[in-house]
Structure 1
Amino acid sequence: MVGIDSGSVRSTTSRSLNRRVSLSSIRSQHVEEHNRHIIRPPKFTSKSIKDYFASRIPSLWVGWDELRQYHWHEVVNPFQPLVEMNKHQWNYFLMAFGCWTMDAFDFFLTSLNIRNLAKSFDKSTKDITWGITLVLMFRTVGAVIFGVMGDHYGRKWPYIICLSCLILIQLGTGFVTTYEQFLGVRSLFGVAMGGVFGICAAEALGDAPQRARGVLSGIFQEGYALGYLLAVCFQRAFDNTERVWQNMFFFSAGVSVIFVIWRLFHPETDNYQRQKARYEKGVESRSSSMAHIKSEIKTALKTYWLIIIYMILMMSGFNFSSHGSQDLYPTLLTEQYHYNNNKTTVVNVCANLGALLGGVVISHASTFIGRRTAVLIGNIIAGAMIYPWAFKPMWATAFFMQFGIQGSWSVVPIHLSELSPPQYKAFVSGVAYQLGNLVSSASSTIEATINDTLHDYGKTMAIFIGAVLIYLMIVILLGPENRNADLDVERDDVLTIDDIQEEDEEKVHEVGHPKSDDSSAFADESYEKVDIEHKV
């Protein structure tokens, strides 16, 4: 008869028990973390209002308990979280980043060619700025159209249609011969451009690991600054040609074709495919797809209507800060300070390098210090640079101004995604962004009008940006935050321990039925390492 080592049995039983306790603890933490991010309909009792506003300043600090969970190299190295990205996730991020970069490249061609366009059409600077204003005004139309398409029918084809339309419109702009034709094609450009942000933000961040979303948000958003930087560099190259602005529009159309072809060869993201599966399951339980859509919209509006209003107010401030600090800055350098083309190019390049660095640093910091705190820090940096930026323009002042402005902006994609209804991310984040653009659409025209009275671009832009930053900081300080919330469509579903256990059991059975208590513990341990750790 074979003897049994009782010590070995106790050791095996102890390990099994410890693993189960550990797994139970992880499950409990996951449930608590998930449910903490559920957004519920707003309450307007005096107590809830008082508690909310009383928490605005304390909530800017995440607390030492959370910060101690991170190693120092995770905090100081913004690229550390990117090691978690796989090829699939990089593929969709880079496709979205490329589209957003070319979108910005196309937009800023008008700003960089205001003088050339005014000369071609025999119009004033103020008249040409209406080409910028109309783009910003019509972007909301595109956000609505393509946002609805993206959330209900997939993001692939709205992406392709948006970028294809931008290609055709850029080509058409190069052929216009009158001021009226110019305004017409820029209005159409605004519609196509409006659909890009919501679709691309959902594509870029939807499948990304949670820890990497902060810095990815910054890198994605600074595709806007990279587009401006590339436009400045190529503008300088095309300055030596006869038809400067026409050649720039033709060139920009050609580059975008690459990203249309790239997107054609890939399916929808995993995030959207899960959303589609949930949608189809919901339709099966109702009499029609329209009944399901109406039910979802009603629930989303009941829960998120106040947050959506806040997002529009926030994005109005952000867009005023961006366009107010960029659109007429080349004009300030050339007309007021008489910079030549080379010097203007250097200053604008440095401004966008500052934007790129600020975007990476501040967005990464937002993962640890909070989205609102990171935005406020960026705005404080920008506010400190207003005087030297407007009255002592040089590469350093432009660099640090855009470090603050665009550094704050870098938090926008992930902040909007975390606050938006998960099943309507593309629509809500895109429309909020573009309604903010609509409100701020006349920023360059307003500045040009003020300058007609003050006759000083530096003073005009300093007053304008100062007022905008004060407004934006107040809005951010009083606003909500949902940092590190899940971006999947199940985010607002209440989760219980039983839900996690059922999912665990399904995954264990997919591997194989355990034959003993110890093998069951081993299966639990394997699942813990592979899946639960990823969730948390």
Structure 2
Amino acid sequence: MDSKTAAAQSADIEQGRRNGMFAWYADAGPRERRAFWSCKVGYMLDGMDTQMLSFVIPTLVATWGISLADAGFIGTLTLLTSAAGGWLAGILSDRIGRVRTLQITVLWFAAFTGLCGLAQNYEQLLAARALMGFGFGGEWTAGAVLIGEVIRARDRGKAVGLVQAGWAIGWGAAALLYAWTFSVLPAATAWRALFLFGLVPALLVIVIRRYVKEPEVYRHAKAAQQSEGDKPSLGEIFSPRLFSTTLRAALLTTGAQGGYYAITTWLPTFLKTERHLTVMGTGGYLATIIVGSYIGYLSSAYLTDRLGRKPNFILFAAGSMAVAFAYTSLNLTDHSMFWLGFPLGFFASGIFAGMGAFLTELFPTRVRGSGQGFCYNVGRAIGALFPFVIGALAKQYGLGTSIGLFAVAAYGVLIVAALTLPETCGRELESA
């Protein structure tokens, strides 16, 4: 082997090491690592608190005698308030800082999750859950902007995607807490105890306050604004310079979240009532989806830096379409449906891993929080309406057909939006 060949192989090995899923962490400094863990744990606890409701709905229906429509309205209202909270948190993060906004949102969703456990009737629970939504949506925005600005360009997708993967861990934690509390306490008490566990994230604020600092790029931008007296306006993301980017990015997130809600909200009902399958009510099926979700997040986080933001979105959107088709068109058995839970979680959740880095890179530092908060959360608000429309159309076209049509339409919108937006992989934020 000549020296040139050896040198080339050595360079390939070094490049492979630098591109590895976790290699970036070894090269990160204390500031980056603290921000990463604060954001990841914060999003994990956010996911835990948010997913608790899905586990206690049967108990609330039995205990308070509320209808399934009433229970579903709690979830819908939470999504709508989380959309508003996410945009407000983005605006706030541009004005008072990413770290301070993260602290406020974590305290907010923890406090109101705890209050859910003290609710004495449906109306009180609805109000507490709606208010919790503001913090739930706001935490994602503040955390995604913070970690996106702290991590260097070549590793941003992996780091932000790993933070996003915390959602699946939080979902699993909620499932385990549910299983434990309902095994040691009567159901009428256990659901309250489960929500009271939601106060735990408040402790994270102590760590954030002491150890996490504002990103350098934000500090420099803020200092320049103050010296020049040039503060960003609320409507700057809709200015002629940014309006096209804002619109297309909002369509991208609407496609991702509309497709996700179309599939995950109605599939269990479709499979149970029209296909008469029972496995989706088991813990094993839930575990399969959660594991698939986590591996999907990890894979997408790696691929968004390896392939680029746009190809990664298109790949996971196509996979989600295929899964939606399989669930609604194929003649499934309990056994085959059990294993389809893995690709369902993999593609439908994994598509979100590249979202934070992409939105961070699309907007300039002065309005990054506003832009990212608006685009992600307008997608959440519109996507939250998909389950309602599917339910209405199901009376005429059937539930399976309605789910399939909306899933294909949603992911089709995402693909078109991705194709029209610029590729930002590797973009330095100072020049964004």
The 1-side partners of 2:406 and 2:121 are apart by 32
The 2-side partners of 1:281 and 1:466 are apart by 45
Change (3 A) 1:101 1:329: farther
Which of 362, 370, 380 is the aligned partner of 1:419? 362
Letter of the structure 2 residue corresponding to residue 491 of structure 1: S
The 1-side partners of 2:265 and 2:419 are apart by 27
Change (3 A) 1:347 1:447: farther
Question: What is the number of residues matched between the two proteins?
Answer: 413
Letter of the structure 2 residue corresponding to residue 367 of structure 1: D
**2:136 matched to which residue of 1?**
193
Letter of the structure 2 residue corresponding to residue 219 of structure 1: L
SS at 1:195's partner residue?
A: helix
Question: In terms of mean alpha carbon deviation, does 188-197 or 106-115 score higher?
Answer: 106-115
1:268 matched to 2:206: no
The 2-side partners of 1:230 and 1:331 are apart by 24
Which of 292, 310, 313 is the aligned partner of 1:375? 313
* Offset at residue 455 of structure 1 (A): 7.3
**2:6 matched to which residue of 1?**
none
* Offset at residue 169 of structure 1 (A): 0.8
Which of 173, 182, 198 is the aligned partner of 1:230? 173
**2:196 matched to which residue of 1?**
250
Change (3 A) 1:171 1:338: farther
Q: Any residues of structure 2 matched to 1:453-468 within 5 Å, and which? A: 460-468=402-410
**1:505 matched to which residue of 2?**
none
The 1-side partners of 2:173 and 2:312 are apart by 27
Letter of the structure 2 residue corresponding to residue 356 of structure 1: Y
Which of 88, 107, 114 is the aligned partner of 2:57? 114
Change (3 A) 1:442 1:357: same
Question: In terms of mean alpha carbon deviation, does 446-455 or 382-391 score higher?
Answer: 446-455
SS at 2:422's partner residue?
A: coil
Letter of the structure 1 residue corresponding to residue 311 of structure 2: T
1:125 matched to 2:71: no
**2:5 matched to which residue of 1?**
none
**1:35 matched to which residue of 2?**
none
Which of 288, 295, 298 is the aligned partner of 1:360? 298
The 1-side partners of 2:233 and 2:202 are apart by 39
The 2-side partners of 1:233 and 1:221 are apart by 20
Highest CA radius of gyration, 1 or 2? 1
Letter of the structure 2 residue corresponding to residue 252 of structure 1: G
Deviation string 1:159-212 (CA, Å, 9 cap, x unpaired) is 122111112211211122322222222221222222111210122222213222
| Unaligned 5+ runs, structure 2 | 1-10
**2:431 matched to which residue of 1?**
491
Please say if residues 217 and 413 of structure 1, whose CA atoms lie closer than 8 Å, have aligned partners that are also in contact. yes
Please say if residues 361 and 424 of structure 2, whose CA atoms lie closer than 8 Å, have aligned partners that are also in contact. yes
Q: Any residues of structure 2 matched to 1:118-197 within 5 Å, and which? A: 118-197=61-140
SS at 1:78's partner residue?
A: coil
SS at 1:293's partner residue?
A: coil
**1:500 matched to which residue of 2?**
none
**2:204 matched to which residue of 1?**
259
SS at 2:66's partner residue?
A: coil
Aligned residues with identical type, % of pairs: 18
| Unaligned 5+ runs, structure 1 | 1-67, 493-536
**1:309 matched to which residue of 2?**
247
Please say if residues 154 and 425 of structure 2, whose CA atoms lie closer than 8 Å, have aligned partners that are also in contact. no
1:279 matched to 2:219: no
**1:210 matched to which residue of 2?**
153
Give the structure-1-normalised TM-score: 0.70
Deviation string 1:31-73 (CA, Å, 9 cap, x unpaired) is xxxxxxxxxxxxxxxxxxxxxxxxxxxxxxxxxxxxx989773
The 2-side partners of 1:465 and 1:111 are apart by 22
The 2-side partners of 1:386 and 1:295 are apart by 41
The 1-side partners of 2:194 and 2:181 are apart by 7
Please say if residues 46 and 170 of structure 2, whose CA atoms lie closer than 8 Å, have aligned partners that are also in contact. yes
The 2-side partners of 1:329 and 1:275 are apart by 42
**1:339 matched to which residue of 2?**
278
Question: In terms of mean alpha carbon deviation, does 395-404 or 320-329 score higher?
Answer: 320-329
The 1-side partners of 2:269 and 2:411 are apart by 22
Question: In terms of mean alpha carbon deviation, does 160-169 or 144-153 score higher?
Answer: 144-153
Give the structure-2-normalised TM-score: 0.85
Change (3 A) 1:311 1:251: same
Letter of the structure 2 residue corresponding to residue 315 of structure 1: T
Please say if residues 375 and 407 of structure 1, whose CA atoms lie closer than 8 Å, have aligned partners that are also in contact. no
SS at 1:269's partner residue?
A: coil
Please say if residues 351 and 399 of structure 1, whose CA atoms lie closer than 8 Å, have aligned partners that are also in contact. yes
The 2-side partners of 1:454 and 1:344 are apart by 29
The 1-side partners of 2:380 and 2:231 are apart by 28
Q: Any residues of structure 2 matched to 1:378-393 within 5 Å, and which? A: 378-390=316-328, 392=332
Please say if residues 117 and 195 of structure 2, whose CA atoms lie closer than 8 Å, have aligned partners that are also in contact. yes
* Offset at residue 459 of structure 1 (A): 5.3
**1:59 matched to which residue of 2?**
none
SS at 1:395's partner residue?
A: helix
**2:261 matched to which residue of 1?**
323
Please say if residues 251 and 413 of structure 2, whose CA atoms lie closer than 8 Å, have aligned partners that are also in contact. no
